Structure formats: structure tokens, C-alpha cells
């Protein structure tokens, strides 16, 4: 069976590692994977670094679309993906998550009557001003096999008319929905054991108390008031508690900080305990997550990894797709509000009695996904 996997943004490259590993270890005589990188992310530390480190095969194609407006970026991908699918004639196409790469691949694949498989199906923020929400909804509704990491995801799909009673053969008008666990959890379990020998990625004692933070969501980066508020609060939090905050900076955020922050704020940040570093590799990120006392983030992946490594999280968004970690008290929604961030810190820093139920499966989601793909579409 030939599958084309389409990746493009950092988290998709990481998710793709779990599927490529499962194919290599368990299905290499039955599944041939052709990897297409759209080139949505292209900096060495947003893309290339992950391939060697996570043992992902080099992409068979790289469309090199780069950065542009949503329409231009997606249009370039549509053209490029169509050419490849015409040439490769795969049995199915596999997409991950909710980026513009997911959207473009979903549209082309369904128009060519090729079965689409969506990993990370069913997640919803119920906020359509978020570009990812539109991408997810479109992609789910043109998929034949939908793999949801959570129970909440399955419930969301049912609300939109998806039925768990459908019977094989599955296709775009008769899709199959699965609750299968999270391939990100597979990765965190698999790679966590490999990081302990590595040098610590920042110049602080791994055993000392520190916070890890990431910010990249467009609602935060593209609104000067929110971005300034978040960074001023991070500085305040670290200074007041004498607690370093390590922040690997997404290039989008770097660009907008440069545009929105005046010299005074830039000076204040560089004189503070807010330690801004370049984006780190996945293994370095895992090391930071494992050692941090608390994680502050607007990233989907990072808020879950906080949970995987049993760390509390403050989420810099008004809502989340990963509602279970908020409902279970592991994370607090803080939006971009100073008061909520400071209050969330009070509540969760050094919190005891947090529980970490197995919301995200058993670390074998990728194997299950591959075996179902073979069974239903092979
Ligand atoms: C994209 C996804 C988002 C995901 C994030 C993961 C969409 C709509 N958004 O957001 O869901 O959470 O990836 O990180 O698909 N840039 C660089 N170098 C790079 C990549 C980007 O400098 O290698 C800069 C460019 O200025 C670019 C900006 O970052 O304009 C935004 O990049 P883009 O891929 O459009 O969106 P992300 O914000 O990264
Ligand atoms: N990540 C990384 N290096 C970094 C920041 C994040 O390897 O400097 C990883 C992180 O561990 C997670 C994934 O990137 O696995 C999350 O991607 P991102 O935050 O860019 O996007 P999102 O998950 O919000 O779509």
C-alpha cells in the first residue's frame, strides 16, 4: 500500500516521526510511505533539525512554499500537492493537525477522490477566528478515516454529524471515526528515555527551579497589546519570584516583538530573568519540559507535553482544544491577562495532589493507526 504523508510545520514533522517509526518497525513490508514536506517551515531550527534527531526519512519532495499570506501559501501548496499526487497515485494520503499544509492537502486529496486520513481529528476550539479551527473543520469533513486523540474529539465529531455506527467500506461519504490516543504521547514516551545523556540546552542547573514558556499563536503575536502584556507579565513573574523563565522563541514572535516593543521594553527583557533562546530541537525541548517546574504556553503540543511530563501549565489562550487537562485541574486558561497569569501561577506552582489520568492513550497510537489504515484501505 502506498501512502503519501504530508507535513510542513514543526509540530507535524514531530507527529510524522511517530508514524514513520511505526511503519519502519512494524509495517515496512506492507506500507510504502512517500513523505511530502510543503516547506511551510524552513529555518534549520524549525524543520531540518528534527529529521536526523527523530530518525524521520528525508522527504521525497519539498515544495518549498515558505511564508506568505494564508491564500498565497495555501494556493502554492494546492498546486504542488496536486502534481505529486498525480505522479505518485497513492492509495491514501495522510495529514496531521490543523495547519495550512493540512488544509491544502485535504482539499487536493478529496478533489482527486483519494481517501484522506486525518490524524488529530475532532479537535475544536469553537473559535473560528482561529485559522487552525477552519483548517480542522474542513479537513475532517473531507476525510475517510478520522483518528481522534481524545474522547472529547470523538464527541465533537458526533456533534457535527459523524456517526460511530458506520460500517466498512469507509469513504468520504461514509467515514470511520476512531478514538486512538495521541501520537505526540507516543513520541514523548519514546524519546524521553533518550535525553538524559544530553547536555542541558541552557546555562542553568537542570535541577534548579525554572519556568519554561513558549508563545507563537497568531492571536497573541499579531496583537501588540496582548504581546506586550504577555512579555511584561513574564518579566514581572520571573523578577518577583526570582525564577528564571526559559523561552525558546518562535520566529513569528521574534518578528512581531521587534515590530511592537519599544527600546525600554527590550532593555527590560534583556536585563531580566526571562531567558530568550532560539527554537530548540525536540530532544532539547523534552529535556526542558522534564526539568521545568511549570510551563506557560499558547502551543497545543507544549500544553499536552506539560501534562505528559506531569507539569502544571498556564495556557495563554481563552480556550483550548485539550479541555481535559483544564477540567482535571492540570492547567489554567489565562488568555493574555496579567491577573489570570499571576493567579494561575499562585494556584499551580508547586501544586500538590495533581493527577494525570491516561487521557492520551498508551503510547501506541501510531501502530494502531497504521494497522487500521491497512485494514480499511489497504
Ligand atoms: C503555523 C500553523 C500553526 C502552528 C504553527 C507551529 C497555520 C495557519 N499555522 O503557524 O497552527 O501552531 O505553525 O509552529 O498553518 N517563519 C520563519 N521561519 C520558519 C517559519 C516561519 O521565520 O521556518 C516566520 C515567518 O515570518 C512567517 C511566520 O513565522 O511569516 C509565520 O509562519 P507560518 O508558517 O505562516 O505560521 P505559524 O505562525 O508558524
Ligand atoms: N518544540 C520544539 N522546540 C521548540 C518549541 C517547540 O521542538 O523550541 C516542539 C514541542 O515540544 C512540541 C511541538 O514543537 O512537540 C509544538 O509545536 P508548536 O508549539 O510550534 O505548534 P502547536 O503544537 O501549537 O501547533
Q: Is residue 356 part of a domain?
A: no
Whole-number Å distance between alpha carbons of 269 and 378: 54
Asked if residue 97 has its Cβ within 6 Å of ligand 1, the reply is no
Q: In what order do the strands lie in the sheet with 116-119?
A: 61-62, 32-37, 2-7, 92-96, 116-119, 145-148, 176-179
Instruction: Kindly state the greatest CA–CA separation across the chain.
Output: 63
Residue 41 C-alpha to ligand 1 middle, in angstroms? 6
Whole-number Å distance between alpha carbons of 284 and 286: 5
Asked if residue 285 has its Cβ within 6 Å of ligand 2, the reply is yes
Please state the length of the chain.
378
Q: Is residue 221 part of a domain?
A: yes
CB 82 within 8 Å of CB 310? no
Q: Is residue 208 part of a domain?
A: yes
Asked if residue 64 has its Cβ within 6 Å of ligand 1, the reply is no
133 and 48 housed in the same domain = yes
Q: Is residue 307 part of a domain?
A: yes
Residue 9 C-alpha to ligand 1 middle, in angstroms? 7
Best residue among 252, 257, 258, 285 to mutate for probing ligand 1's pocket (most ligand atoms within 8 Å of CB) is: 252
Whole-number Å distance between alpha carbons of 10 and 51: 11
Please identify which residue in the block is written with the cell numbers 473531507: 142
Total domain count, the chain: 2
Q: pTM of the prediction?
A: 0.98
Q: In what order do the strands lie in the sheet with 294-297?
A: 274-277, 245-248, 211-214, 294-297, 313-315, 331-333
Best residue among 7, 8, 9, 10 to mutate for probing ligand 2's pocket (most ligand atoms within 8 Å of CB) is: 10
- For residue 160, count CB atoms less than 10 angstroms from its CB and return exposed for 0-12, middle for 13-18, buried for 19 or more: exposed
Whole-number Å distance between alpha carbons of 284 and 296: 17
Please identify which residue in the block is written with the cell numbers 515496512: 28
Whole-number Å distance between alpha carbons of 283 and 87: 35
103 and 171 housed in the same domain = yes
Could you write out the three-class secondary structure of 118-158? EECCCCCCCCCCCHHHHHHHHHHHCCCEEEECCHHHHHHHH
99 and 77 housed in the same domain = yes
173 and 260 housed in the same domain = no
Going by alpha carbons, the residue nearest to atom 23 of ligand 2 is 301
For residue 99, the ligand 2 atom closest to its alpha carbon is 25
| Cβ atoms < 10 Å from Cβ of 88 | 17
Going by alpha carbons, the residue nearest to atom 29 of ligand 1 is 252
Asked if residue 305 has its Cβ within 6 Å of ligand 2, the reply is yes
Helix 131-141 × helix 100-111 angle, to 10°: 20
The pLDDT profile of the chain, 378 residues, written as one tens digit per residue, is 999 999 999 999 999 999 999 999 999 999 999 999 999 999 999 999 999 999 999 999 999 999 999 999 999 999 999 999 999 999 999 999 999 999 999 999 999 999 999 999 999 999 999 999 999 999 999 999 999 999 999 999 999 999 999 999 999 999 999 999 999 999 999 999 889 788 999 999 888 999 999 999 999 999 999 999 999 999 999 999 999 999 999 999 999 999 999 999 999 999 999 999 999 999 999 999 999 999 999 999 999 999 999 999 999 999 999 999 999 999 999 999 999 999 999 999 999 999 999 999 999 999 999 999 999 998
Whole-number Å distance between alpha carbons of 333 and 319: 6
Reading the block at residue 229, the C-alpha cell is 502584556
Those residues with Cβ within 8 angstroms of residue 25's Cβ, 6 or more apart along the chain or in another chain? none
177 and 199 housed in the same domain = no
| Cβ atoms < 10 Å from Cβ of 55 | 12
**Is the omega angle on the peptide bond into residue 266 within 30 degrees of 0, that is, cis?**
no
Going by alpha carbons, the residue nearest to atom 21 of ligand 1 is 41
36 and 117 housed in the same domain = yes
214 and 341 housed in the same domain = yes
Asked if residue 101 has its Cβ within 6 Å of ligand 2, the reply is no
Residue 251 C-alpha to ligand 1 middle, in angstroms? 8
Q: Which domain holds residue 6?
A: 2-182+361-377
Asked if residue 255 has its Cβ within 6 Å of ligand 1, the reply is yes
Q: Is residue 366 part of a domain?
A: yes
Asked if residue 201 has its Cβ within 6 Å of ligand 2, the reply is no
Whole-number Å distance between alpha carbons of 247 and 215: 8
CB 295 within 8 Å of CB 212? yes
24 and 171 housed in the same domain = yes
For residue 47, the ligand 1 atom closest to its alpha carbon is 23
320 and 200 housed in the same domain = yes
287 and 312 housed in the same domain = yes
Q: Is 216 a catalytic residue?
A: yes
Q: Is residue 355 part of a domain?
A: no
Q: Is residue 153 part of a domain?
A: yes
198 and 309 housed in the same domain = yes
Asked if residue 297 has its Cβ within 6 Å of ligand 2, the reply is no
Q: Is residue 276 part of a domain?
A: yes
Quick one: pLDDT at residue 196? 79
CA nearest to 178, candidates 140, 152, 149, 138: 149
303 and 233 housed in the same domain = yes
CATH number of the structural domain spanning residue 269: 3.40.50.2000
Amino acid at each position: 500500500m502506498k501512502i503519501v504523508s504530508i507535513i510542513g510545520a514543526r509540530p507535524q514533522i514531530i507527529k510524522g516521526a511517530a508514524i514513520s517509526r511505526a511503519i519502519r518497525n512494524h509495517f515496512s513490508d506492507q506500507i510504502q510511505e512517500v513523505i511530502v514536506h510543503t516547506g511551510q517551515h524552513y529555518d534549520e531550527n524549525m524543520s531540518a533539525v528534527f529529521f536526523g534527531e527523530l530518525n524521520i526519512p528525508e522527504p521525497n519532495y519539498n515544495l518549498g512554499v515558505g511564508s506568505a499570506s494564508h491564500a498565497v501559501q495555501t494556493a502554492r501548496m494546492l498546486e504542488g500537492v496536486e502534481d505529486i499526487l498525480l505522479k505518485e497515485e497513492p492509495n491514501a494520503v495522510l495529514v496531521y493537525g490543523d495547519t495550512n499544509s493540512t488544509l491544502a492537502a485535504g482539499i487536493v486529496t478529496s478533489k482527486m477522490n483519494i481517501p484522506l486520513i486525518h490524524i488529530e481529528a475532532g479537535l475544536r476550539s469553537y473559535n473560528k477566528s482561529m485559522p487552525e479551527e477552519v483548517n480542522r473543520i474542513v479537513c475532517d469533513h473531507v476525510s475517510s478515516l478520522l483518528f481522534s486523540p481524545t474522547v472529547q474529539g470523538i464527541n465533537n465529531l458526533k456533534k457535527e454529524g459523524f456517526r460511530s455506527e458506520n460500517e466498512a467500506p469507509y469513504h468520504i461519504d461514509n467515514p470511520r471515526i476512531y478514538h486512538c490516543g495521541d501520537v505526540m504521547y507516543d513520541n514523548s514516551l519514546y524519546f524521553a528515555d533518550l535525553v538524559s545523556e544530553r547536555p542541558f540546552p541552557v546555562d542553568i542547573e537542570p535541577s534548579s527551579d525554572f519556568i519554561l514558556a513558549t508563545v507563537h499563536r497568531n492571536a497573541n503575536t499579531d496583537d501588540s497589546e496582548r504581546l506586550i502584556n504577555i512579555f511584561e507579565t513574564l518579566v514581572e513573574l520571573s523578577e518577583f519570584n526570582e525564577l528564571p523563565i526559559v523561552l525558546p522563541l518562535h520566529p513569528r514572535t521574534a518578528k512581531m516583538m521587534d515590530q511592537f516593543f519599544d527600546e525600554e521594553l527590550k532593555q527590560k527583557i534583556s536585563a531580566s530573568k526571562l531567558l530568550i533562546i532560539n527554537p530548540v530541537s525536540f530532544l532539547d525541548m523534552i529535556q526542558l519540559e522534564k526539568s521545568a517546574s511549570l510551563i506557560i504556553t499558547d502551543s497545543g503540543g507544549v500544553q499536552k507535553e506539560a501534562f505528559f511530563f506531569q507539569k502544571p501549565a498556564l495556557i495563554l489562550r481563552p480556550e483550548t482544544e485539550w479541555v481535559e487537562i483544564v477540567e482535571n485541574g492540570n492547567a489554567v486558561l489565562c488568555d493574555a491577562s496579567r491577573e489570570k497569569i499571576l493567579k494561575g501561577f499562585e494556584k499551580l506552582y508547586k501544586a500538590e495532589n495533581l493527577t494525570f489520568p491516561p487521557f492520551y492513550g498508551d503510547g501506541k497510537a501510531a501502530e494502531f493507526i497504521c494497522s487500521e489504515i491497512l485494514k480499511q484501505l489497504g
